[in-house]
Amino acid sequence: MFKAEAFSPHETLAASLIAHAAEGDDGSHDLAHILRVFRNAMRIHAGEGGDGRILAAAVLLHDCVAVEKNSPLRAKASALAAEKASAILAELGWTAADISAVGHAITAHSFSAGVTPQTIEAKILQDADRLDAIGMVGVARCFYIGGRMGSGLYDPFDPAATNRPLDDKRYAIDHFQTKLFKLADGFQTETGRRLAAARDKSLRDFLSAFLDEI
C-alpha cells in the first residue's frame, strides 16, 4: 500500500505523481527503488541545497518509462522518461521552466545516456540513483537483473575473468567490473561521493567474499 508520508516533506507531490512513477514488472525499478532514491536524494539535498520540489518530482518520475536492460532503446530510456514526465507536469500546470528543470534532471540521471548533469538537482538525482546501484542493495539488484536477463552467476572455470574477456550479459558477477566498480568515481556532489565511498567498499568486500566461497 502506498504511503505518501514516506515521501515527506513532499507528500502531496508524491500523491499526485506516484501513479506514474513506475511501470512494468521490473523489481529493480519498482516503487521500493523510487523510495530508496528519494531518501538518498533528500539526504544529499540536505547537504548540497537545490530546489526540493524540482528534485522530488524528478525522483518520482525518473523511471516512469520502463525499458529493459537488454533493449536497443536502453540508452534512450531517460530521454523517453523525461518526455513523459514533461507531459504529466504540464497537465498539472507546472511552468515551462520548472518542467525543463525536471526533464533535464531525468535525462541526465542515466549512466547509459551519457548526459552531463548541469544543475544541482540533476547532479543530486544522478548521485541518488547511482547510490542504489552500489552497496548491498546494488548487489541484490545486480543478481536480480542478471536472473531476469537469463545470465549465469559466474564462469565456473574463470569467475574473476583472469584469462577471458568480461561479459556481463553471460555472467552477472562480471557486471561488478564492467560497471559497478566504476560508479563511485563519477559522483557529482561532495555528499554523494562520501556516501558512495562506503557503499563501494561494501561492494568490493562482497565480491572478495563471493570469490573466496567459490
121 contact partners, CB below 8 Å, separation of at least 6: 50, 51, 54, 55, 58, 101, 102, 105
| pTM (two decimals) | 0.92
pLDDT tens over the chain, length 214 residues: 778 899 999 999 999 999 898 777 788 788 999 999 999 999 999 999 999 999 999 999 999 887 766 666 566 888 899 999 999 999 999 999 999 999 999 999 987 777 899 999 999 999 999 999 999 999 999 999 999 999 999 999 999 999 999 999 999 999 999 999 999 999 999 999 999 999 999 999 999 999 999 9
CA-to-CA distance for 151 and 153, rounded, in angstroms? 7
User: Quick one: pLDDT at residue 72?
Assistant: 60
Which residue in this structure is represented by grid cell 504511503? Answer: 3
Rounded-to-10 torsion of CA 7, 10, 16, 17 = -60
